[in-house]
Structure 1
Amino acid sequence: MILIFGISLFVSWRLKSKFNEYSQIGLSNGLSGAEIAQRMLQENGIYDVRVVSTEGMLTDNYNPQEKTVNLSNDVYYGRSVAAAAVAAHECGHAVQHKLAYAPLQLRSALVPVLSVSSRYLQWVILLGILMLQTTPIPLAIGVGLFALTTIFSFVTLPVEFDASRRALAWIQDRGVVNQREYGFAKDALWWAAMTYVVAALGSLATLLYYASLLSGGRRSD
């Protein structure tokens, strides 16, 4: 657990460092993240998704319910390699949505369940640990709920990697970046993907820890 936490901090720091570095490298074509996003959507036949700016850093996301590609201000207005990579990646999710990409559909189906369970998860786990010597039922429920979180984390991995693959293929095929810029964009998206990998492994480690508590409590009975 401590090792994964340390790795998570390193990957998060590395991602921010890479984003800051590549934000200083201007695109040779001078396009902004918003312009790149709009172009990628249109060239994939997507005309009902809006590209909007949002506050914060690395807050970029695609909202399938609102049908918006939300880009942080640095990406929306930026004309850098980092802006191009992030904008294209988020549009990759819009392409997945249009094509009914199965992992994205599964992840979207899990969101309502997780939004409800996450409100009570920590309290159920705490109650389960406190009552473990009396009954294993609350902790078993907590482990089950946490298992959904872990499944969501792992389902997210193919969604993120596929969006990056689509983004990199498009910006290369359409000449949005030159060869040097492509390498930087690929590196930036790789570090972004690693944050999801670490999160999934961290979730799995936590699940196994709670499951071991449950198993130990049952054996003591």
Structure 2
Amino acid sequence: MGLLIALIVMGVSFYVQWRLKSKFEEYSQVGLSNGMSGKEIAETMLRESGIYDVRVVSVEGRLTDHYNPQDKTVNLSPDVYYGRSVAAAAVASHECGHAVQHATAYSWLQFRSQMVPFLSVASQYMQWIIFIGVLLINTSIIPLTIGVALFAVTTLFSFITLPVEYDASNRALAWIQKNRIVNEREYVMSADALKWAARTYLVAAIGSLATLLYYVSLLMGRRD
């Protein structure tokens, strides 16, 4: 049963990732009516949100866009940074949504950020601890218990990420609509793109929970 659930989640994850990439490829071909680039949109959103200490920079890769609260940078992939498309507008404003969260001390982002240092260390050893715990489950449950506890924290992290991502998208969509960055047709496309992006986080959280429950079942002696 555990294997079946894992395969289903994996299948759904691949589908969502495929849809996300296809949506962004589609909307990357749709030119923005106002002609602004992702960089220009990001800088405008930051400025109009009263944020002047965040830089907008270009980073290598595709779909590598993110906000870094440590050095206060909105990092945009080349397609978004230089792009003048609906996809670029959606991504740039979304990442600036995170910057606005940071500037306004959004509670879920703060909670998430506080967990990062612990998870960065725990993730290096968690899988090994779980592996050893599974091997020694008939001898001692301590290693697996520790591993499951660490995995539970990573699962919590994935669920805390959900409101952070959805809120950033909501902020982005509200801003680009209010400030007429997009027209009505472009707004619908932007919302669709960000919807699929958010679903990748949702599937990841569900997958993490399913894996956690499987490990818990092993710990409790209910093996599939």
Q: Same fold (TM over 0.5)?
A: yes
Following TM superposition, where does structure 1 have runs of at least 4 consecutive aligned residues deviating by more than 4 angstroms? Answer: none
Q: 1:44 aligns with which of 27, 49, 56?
A: 49
Deviations 1:39-59 (A, max 9, x none): 000000000000000011100
- Measure, in 1, the Cα distance between the counterparts of 2:164 and 2:98: 8
CA distance in 2 between partners of 1:130 and 1:179 (Å): 57
CA deviation after TM superposition for structure 1 residue 136, in Å? 0.2
Question: What 5-or-longer segments of structure 2 have no aligned partner?
Answer: 1-5
State the Cα deviation string for residues 186-218 of structure 1 (Å, max 9, x = none).
00000000000000000000000000000007x
Per the TM alignment, residue 161 of structure 1 is displaced from its structure 2 partner at its CA by 0.1
Selected match of 1:82 from 81, 87, 94: 87
Q: Indicate which of 163, 167, 176 corresponds to 1:171.
A: 176
One-letter identity of the residue aligned with 2:51: I
Provide the C-alpha distance between the structure 2 equivalents of 1:54 and 1:13, rounded to a whole number of angstroms: 22
Q: Superposition pairs for residues 123-162 of structure 1, below 5 Å?
A: 123-162=128-167
Aligned to 1:192: 197
Alpha-carbon distance in 2 for matches of 1:73, 1:209 = 40
Gaps of 5+ in 1: none
Between the aligned partners of 2:63 and 2:165, the Cα distance in structure 1 is 15
Matches of 2:216 and 2:62 in 1, distance apart? 36
Report matched runs for 1:85-124 at 5 Å.
Answer: 85-124=90-129
Q: Distance in 2 between matches of 1:109 and 1:213?
A: 30
- Secondary structure (helix, strand or coil) at the match of 1:153 reads helix
Aligned-residue offset at 1:65: 0.2
Q: Which residue of 2 aligns with 1:22?
A: 27
C-alpha separation in 2, matches of 1:47 and 1:112: 27
Instruction: Return the alpha-carbon distance in structure 1 between the equivalents of residues 147 and 214 of structure 2.
Output: 12
1:212 maps onto 2:217 in alignment: yes
Query: 1:76 and 1:61 mapped to 2: Cα distance?
Result: 12
Shift of 1:123: 0.5
Residue type at the aligned position of 2:202: V
- Matched with 2:3 is none
Residues 72-103 of structure 1, C-alpha deviations (whole Å, 9 max, x = no match): 00000000000000000000000000010000
Task: Give the TM-score taking structure 2 as reference length.
Answer: 0.96
Give secondary structure in 1 for the equivalent of 2:221. Answer: helix
Confirm whether residue 72 of structure 1 aligns to residue 77 of structure 2.
yes
1:132-180 Cα distance to aligned partner (Å, 9 max, x none): 0000000000000000100000000000000000000000000000000
CA distance in 2, matches of 1:70, 1:33: 11
